[in-house]
A and B are shown apart, each in its own frame.
Chain A
Amino acid sequence: MSDTQWPRWEVFKQDTPNKPHQAVGSVHAADPLHALLTARNVFVRRPQAVSLWVAPASAIFSVTQEELAEGPKPSPESTGVAGAYLLFRKTSHKRSMTFVDYVGQLEAPSPQAALEQALRQFTDAEALAWWVIPASSVVRSEESPETVESWFAPAKEKTYKQQSYYGVVGTHTSKLRGRGGADES
């Protein structure tokens, strides 16, 4: 068998219940549960997560602002079916560790149609990039309190992973300015 790193899955993390799921990066995994578990290990080593979604990268119809300006882009055939679509959008060039945010779900005959509908519906901010994903391709972590607790709470206890745990260590450079003499040996 030739070497494989398995298919790629995009990961969406929700930090708190009132924040949207945000694209944080991708993992490679053989199946959806494997993708969710890997996503937890890769993206939830620190606090701030209540839910994870994963979707196969191959199921995502992505369009940038530049591509939008150039006119309609054919959506991939494999996902060109009628149904529910999840819409994700990027609205800022600001320094960030996440890409697109979840904005809502739409019923549409194809990803391209879902995007056109979204352009009319979500007009509160200028979009710099869109992801359209069939709802049937998105796999979500369980919402039961036990799962949330066992998946996401342990990171909160591991305070030694935070730089704040170490307080002020030694003398900061800013306090050392103006001191001369390199050779103290």
Chain B
Amino acid sequence: MPGKFGTPTDPDYALRLAEFEARIARGEKIEPGDWMPEEYRRQLVRMISQHAHSEVVGMLPEGAWITRAPSLKRKMILIAKVQDEAGHGQYLYHAAETLGISREEMLEALLSGRAKYSSIFNYPTLTWADIGTIGWLVDGAAIKNQTMLAQCSYGPYSRAMVRICAEETFHHKQGKEMVIAYAKGTPKQRQMAQDAINRWWWPALMMLGPHDADSPNSEVLIRWGVKTKSNDTVRQEFINEHAPEILATGLSLPDPELHQDPQGNWRHGPINWEEFWSVVGGNGPMNKERLEARRRAHTEGAWVREALEAYAAKKSPIPMAV
């Protein structure tokens, strides 16, 4: 099924690239089977698989709190949210598969530690208030990015994003509702919410990626309509929405330099990129645990995969694709 992937050494590359870029300029979606530059394919596989891994690993920090939810209502909401994240991972792996990479290859890359996933999930969830804060800030930041990616020129990625965004708004809202409830609650609840905001605010800003000047892939991704906005633009949208809303609850943000400029943009103080790169490089507080948890789940589930395959082989004539 994967189509033709052009490289600059092809004799007709310049011509086909021009046609390809004209299609994107006209707002057409590129579909599996269409001609595309190999570099477009490579960048998409990288982005979509990282995104899929992030959804899957993203279940771990929140999943740890399902058994400790304070009420049945909160528990049902959290289970539904974590189940959604599993679904998001599935949508995205599917989108990547349309580019000719297999599920097995992607999972191997994740489990071997070669693949990257969002830095944010390498931070620990220390209290229940972290669950609300993740919904409000982490899903809130993710939505900003995903709304942008829903415009993506690659059809399967765009469609996965539209589907995901429709579900993310629930994640965002339940988190916001929870944090506001605690902000209006007892002094202890309030303090717990403040502590969670203090710990998640900076990682949420970092998860939207390095500054534009340090983001080497951005230019080509924007030219080919994969991304339609730069990291800093998306980050600014996130802060402009979330900073005033959080401050309106009476909670504070852990950035003494945060202020609104005359244009109305909320300006943040310097981001600790050393911390970001250290977490990306595998040295965050929870990197090891996250990977171990994934590996354990994969190994412990092996017998299920084998049993179902053996059952299918006995019953059905459909050949097993490799």
Q: Is the CB of A170 within 8 A of B77?
A: no
Q: Mark A12-47, 1 if CB is under 8 A from B, else 0.
A: 000000000000111111111010000001110110
Q: Is A138 interfacial (CB-CB < 8 Å)?
A: no
Binds A, one of B40-48, B62-70, B90-98, B289-297: B90-98
Q: How large is the interface on B (under 10, 10 to 19, 20 to 34, 35 or more residues)?
A: 35 or more
Chain A CB count within 10 A is highest, among B1, B108, B266, for B1
Q: Is A108 interfacial (CB-CB < 8 Å)?
A: no
Q: Is the CB of B247 within 8 A of A169?
A: no
Residues of A within 8 A of B255 (CB): 182
Among candidates B29, B80, B250, B319, residue contacting A161 with C-beta atoms closer than 8 Å: B80
Residues of B within 8 A of A3 (CB): 104, 107-108, 302, 305
Q: Is the CB of B309 within 8 A of A6?
A: yes
Residues of A within 8 A of B151 (CB): 95
Among candidates B31, B103, B162, residue contacting A64 with C-beta atoms closer than 8 Å: B31
Knowing A5-B104, A45-B83, A169-B176 touch, does A176 contact B248 (C-beta < 8 A)? yes
Among candidates B80, B177, B240, residue contacting A169 with C-beta atoms closer than 8 Å: B177
Residues of B within 8 A of A95 (CB): 150-151, 158, 162
Q: Cα distance A90–B244 when bound, in Å? A: 43
Q: Is the CB of A34 within 8 A of B308?
A: yes
Name the residue of chain B whose CB is nearest to the CB of A7: B321
Q: Cα distance A134–B179 when bound, in Å? A: 52
Residues of B within 8 A of A5 (CB): 102-104, 107, 305
Binds B, one of A55-63, A80-88, A111-119: A55-63
Q: Mark B168-211, 1 if CB is under 8 A from A, else 0.
A: 01101110110010000000000000000000000000000000
Task: Give me the 10 closest cross-chain CB pairs, A-B, nearest first.
Answer: A185-B252, A30-B312, A30-B308, A5-B103, A31-B312, A176-B244, A163-B169, A97-B163, A182-B258, A64-B33
